[in-house]
Amino acid sequence: MGNAVLLLSSMLIAGVALFFFYRAFKSKHFESLQKDALIPFDDDEPVGQPTDQLFKESDKPKQNSML
């Protein structure tokens, strides 16, 4: 009984996933993957040149000279 429930639920999940993949494919979500991948970049942050400074020089911890 447990195996049948596991099999049916996995088939249901796979069917739902295939349905949503088919729906996305038919609505042309996969037409321009390269163009959509570049949306987060604009003129302020060109491709290949990071402009965010996560670890600035002033953010580094000061070394204790007494050690």
Q: What is the pLDDT of residue 2?
A: 87
C-alpha to C-alpha distances, 31 to 6, 22, 65, nearest whole angstrom: 35, 13, 59
CB neighbour list of residue 61: distance below 8 Å, 6 or more residues apart: none
Nearest CA-CA partner of 47 in 65, 60, 34, 58? 34
pLDDT in tens, 2-61: 899 999 999 999 999 999 999 999 988 888 777 767 666 666 666 666 666 665 555 555
Q: How many Å apart are CA 58 and CA 60, to the nearest integer?
A: 6
Q: How many Å apart are CA 50 and CA 41, to the nearest integer?
A: 10
The domain segmentation of the chain, as residue ranges, is: 1-27
Q: What is the pLDDT of residue 31?
A: 82
